[in-house]
Structure 1
Amino acid sequence: MAYVPGIALLAALVTGCTGGSGTEDATTDAKPGSPTVSVAPPGKYQTLPEACRSVSTGTLKQLLPGLADLPADQQKAAYGGKASVTYDTDRKGGCTWQSRTADSTRTLVVDFERVVSYDPSVSDEDSAATVYGKKAEAVGLPAPSPSADDPADGPESGSDGGSASPSATASPSAGDGVAPQGSASPTTPATLNPTGNDTGGDGDGGATLAPRTLKNLGNAAFLDDALEGGGSAPQHRTVSVVFRTSNVVVTVRYAEETTDAAEVPESAELQEKAQALARGLDENINE
């Protein structure tokens, strides 16, 4: 199916993570006169956004156009998404939305993971970097070195250089005039600029198809574009954007499966929209 460039700007809604209160290393003494043991500082975030409220209805309408064609009594549930099963919503959370049209089925998945270190000498952020690194290696990318994703590196670490205070608390934001749960009033959602997205230039529709790292997204980020099917089977493309911001790892998966087996889901549109959503989530988390 043809992709029309210059998509409308996406607006992402995130209920903010709550920042930790500790900003300095803590120390403990087992006994008077015993050696002092340094304890790594806690992670910046102590809670997670509510995944099924993390994307505004306006954004879902752009990512999943088939939802707008559903009967009115079915739209509320469709836009509400399906929450992932989790036994600790402060540690993991996810949500899935799906729409169907005559041409294709589109699926959006957003996952949040707040990493906690059980080793007092290893910080939550370092543990999150390890989790992120394993995800990068799984798609054939090298895990970043500690210096490569250090917030002090500057602009490539995020929109604010990743230098926010560990005690900062992200402000809740909302889309379509609906306040997130626990918020006194809605705030303006982030506005995304597709021209700032990295779609490369050596693949389908101008998009780079090989897995690659992304700049200006969290402390570290990568994109993976996987196409399955072919022949008599429907073509299924999944674009995944994974990024780490402090001790939280976020995954955005945006997929399309075509009805016609001869029709290949276009990569450029999926990549552009997945990146735009990921950047909006990151901006809102770090507000």
Structure 2
Amino acid sequence: MQRKAYVPGVAALLAAVLAGCTGGSGDGGTTDDANPGGTGRTTAAAEPGKYRTLPEPCGAVGRGTLDSLLPGIKEIADEEQREKAYAGEATLTFDTDRRVGCRWKVESASAVDHLLVDFERVVSYDSAVSDDSEAERLFARKEDAADLPEPSGSAPASESGSASGSAPASGSGGTPSAAASASASSGSSAPASPGSSAASSAPASGDASATPSSGGATADLQPRLLDGLGDEAFLDDEPSSGSTAEQRTVTVAFRTSNVIVTIEYTEQPTTVGTVPDSGEMQDRARKLASRLADALSG
């Protein structure tokens, strides 16, 4: 009889314990696992960038464009060597998913031309920072390194973006980049002589008649920000005196979402005393940048 009384008592005790463990689960409250922070909210990760891949760099520049930027390429008599020149050479990279590039070098009777095209896809490793924001930060650093001169309020840029009368006619082409390039130009300091090491460091001459062919740079041809090219862009133009002849490098860089594109176009004449045409080189580089931006957007 005592054993029969004991069993029901144990069952009642177990039922009470179980009821205490599960109490409150059906009253609409959340468990600790469902609400570990006590706020009931989760932090959304920043959006990834628009671009997940990069184009094949050596195939990104068409033959017609290469004919324009590298005039000597059509002068190569040997067909095999000419095809090799058109193909370009891929730059060394350790992660083609993040960065790719291609370079070309062509010698002609009048000059040696170099072209470099570089694509960088930016990825943020901070879940709170988007790829676009990280790319914007890196592009701002690149722009600061270019050390562009401050825009001058006394020489406002043309609304149409066309070059000044001293620039060659080809500089007023109808491509988006050509039309927008002069809208943010600066006129703070035009070089006094073609031998100056950098446009921004030369003394102001105030001579509006200076022409690109003479090695000088008018206000519209100074290093500057560019409108209408990607999300943001700038152009740098640096002449430098080599041991034998004047050399000029025009750089156009732009950002589209989380991809940064950089074009470096260099020309060194073979004749001493000959100065590369700044306006012509800028026009060619801007047109290439516009084509690359359109290809990325498409």
TM-score normalised according to structure 2 size: 0.65
- 2: distance between equivalents of 1:54 and 1:78? 14
2:59 corresponds to 1:53: yes
Q: Please say if residues 176 and 229 of structure 2, whose CA atoms lie closer than 8 Å, have aligned partners that are also in contact.
A: no
Q: Please say if residues 197 and 275 of structure 1, whose CA atoms lie closer than 8 Å, have aligned partners that are also in contact.
A: no
Which residue identity lines up with residue 98 of structure 2 in the other structure?
Answer: R
2:217 corresponds to 1:213: no
Root-mean-square deviation (CA, aligned residues, Å) is 2.3
Q: Please say if residues 113 and 266 of structure 2, whose CA atoms lie closer than 8 Å, have aligned partners that are also in contact.
A: yes
Alignment of 1:72-151 (within 5 A): 72-141=79-148
Q: Partner residue of 1:166?
A: none
Q: Percent identity?
A: 43
2:241 to 229, 249, 252: 229
Q: Please say if residues 240 and 248 of structure 2, whose CA atoms lie closer than 8 Å, have aligned partners that are also in contact.
A: yes
Which residue identity lines up with residue 181 of structure 2 in the other structure?
Answer: D
- Give 1:31 shift: 5.2
Q: Please say if residues 181 and 225 of structure 2, whose CA atoms lie closer than 8 Å, have aligned partners that are also in contact.
A: no
2:263 to 247, 252, 263: 252
Residues 167-194 of structure 1, C-alpha deviations (whole Å, 9 max, x = no match): xxxxxxxxxxxxxxxxxxxxxxxx9478
Which residue identity lines up with residue 196 of structure 1 in the other structure?
Answer: A
Which residue identity lines up with residue 71 of structure 2 in the other structure?
Answer: P
Change (3 A) 1:258 1:247: same
Higher RCO (CA 8 Å, separation ≥ 6 residues): 1
Which residue identity lines up with residue 57 of structure 1 in the other structure?
Answer: R
Q: Please say if residues 146 and 236 of structure 2, whose CA atoms lie closer than 8 Å, have aligned partners that are also in contact.
A: yes
> SS at the partner of 2:245?
strand
Q: Partner residue of 1:43?
A: 49
- 2: distance between equivalents of 1:31 and 1:116? 32
Q: Partner residue of 1:198?
A: 181
- 1: distance between equivalents of 2:180 and 2:250? 14
Gaps of 5+ in 1: 1-29, 143-190
Q: Partner residue of 1:272?
A: 283
Q: Please say if residues 116 and 265 of structure 2, whose CA atoms lie closer than 8 Å, have aligned partners that are also in contact.
A: yes
> SS at the partner of 2:241?
strand
Change (3 A) 1:118 1:237: same
Which residue identity lines up with residue 244 of structure 2 in the other structure?
Answer: A
Q: Please say if residues 258 and 264 of structure 1, whose CA atoms lie closer than 8 Å, have aligned partners that are also in contact.
A: yes
Residues 206-240 of structure 1, C-alpha deviations (whole Å, 9 max, x = no match): 7534321001000000000001116x532110000
- 2: distance between equivalents of 1:39 and 1:194? 34
Which residue identity lines up with residue 238 of structure 2 in the other structure?
Answer: A
Which residue identity lines up with residue 34 of structure 2 in the other structure?
Answer: P
Which residue identity lines up with residue 256 of structure 1 in the other structure?
Answer: E
- 2: distance between equivalents of 1:106 and 1:226? 15
Q: Please say if residues 197 and 272 of structure 1, whose CA atoms lie closer than 8 Å, have aligned partners that are also in contact.
A: no
- 1: distance between equivalents of 2:272 and 2:60? 33
Q: Partner residue of 1:32?
A: 34
Q: Please say if residues 226 and 238 of structure 1, whose CA atoms lie closer than 8 Å, have aligned partners that are also in contact.
A: yes
Q: Please say if residues 178 and 286 of structure 2, whose CA atoms lie closer than 8 Å, have aligned partners that are also in contact.
A: no
Q: Please say if residues 91 and 114 of structure 1, whose CA atoms lie closer than 8 Å, have aligned partners that are also in contact.
A: yes
Q: Partner residue of 1:9?
A: none
Q: Partner residue of 2:71?
A: 65
- 1: distance between equivalents of 2:271 and 2:33? 71
- Give 1:84 shift: 0.6
> SS at the partner of 2:273?
coil
Which residue identity lines up with residue 63 of structure 2 in the other structure?
Answer: T
Segment of structure 1 superposing worse, 207-216 or 53-62:
207-216
Which residue identity lines up with residue 32 of structure 1 in the other structure?
Answer: A
- Give 1:141 shift: 4.0
> SS at the partner of 1:39?
coil
- 2: distance between equivalents of 1:50 and 1:56? 12
